[in-house]
Amino acid sequence: MNVRATEAVVAVTNDDEVNILSALLAKRQGCPRAIAIVNNETYGMLVGWLGIDAVVSPRLITVSSILQHVRRGRIRGVHSIQEGAGEIIEADALETSPLVGKPLREVDLPDGVVIGAIVRGDEVIIPRGGTTIAAGDRVILFALADAVKKVEKLFTVGLEFF
C-alpha cells in the first residue's frame, strides 16, 4: 500500500495503542494527515506532541452530544473541553437576546465568557468591541463551567419572541 498517495489515515481499532502506532507509522511513511480514535484521555494529551494530527475521543463526543440536548436556549452545538472545565458553545442569537443590537463593548458578558466568532449568512466575523450581533447570527463562544448557565439565559427565547 502506498500510504503517501492517501490524503489521510484514520486508525479506528478497539485498541488505543494500535491506533496511535498506526497513525504514527502512516505519518512516518509520508501520509499528510493521521487521525486516531483514543479512549484513554492520558494518551490523548500525548498525541499532539507525537505528531498525530487529530485525536477522536468517543467519550468526549458522547458528552458533547448530551450537553447539546440538555442546554437551554437556542444552542446548536456544545463541546466540553478540559474534562468539563469549560465549553465551546454555538448558539443562535434571537431578537430578544440582550446581545443583539449593541456593540459588544456595551454588552455585560458574564465573567469567564469570550465570544470567538459570529457567523452571519456566509460571512465569519471575528468580533471586536464595536461589533454588533444581529438577530439570526450564529455566535460561537467559550464559557468556563461556572458561566454556562448565564450563557444559556443569553440565548433563551423570551416571551416577546412570540
Q: pLDDT tens digits for 80-93?
A: 676 667 888 888 88
Distance CA 116, CA 129 (A): 12
The overall average pLDDT reported for the chain is 79
Q: What's the structural domain count of the chain?
A: 2
Q: What is the pLDDT of residues 103-152, one digit of tens each?
A: 999 988 889 889 999 999 999 999 998 999 998 898 888 988 888 778 77
Domain co-membership, 81 together with 20 = no
Task: Supply 31's cell numbers.
Answer: 501520509
User: 3-state DSSP helix/strand/coil percent for the chain, to nearest 5?
Assistant: 35, 30, 40
Q: Indicate the pTM of the whole model.
A: 0.57
Domain extent, residue 133, equals 60-161
Buried b (16+ CB within 10 A) or exposed e, 10-42: bbeeeebeebbebbbebbeeebeebbbbbeeee
* Range in 22-31, 36-45, 74-83, 92-101 the model is least confident about: 74-83
Domain co-membership, 21 together with 99 = no
- What one-character DSSP code corresponds to residue 150? H
Distance CA 7, CA 56 (A): 18
Domain co-membership, 43 together with 83 = no
Domain co-membership, 42 together with 65 = no
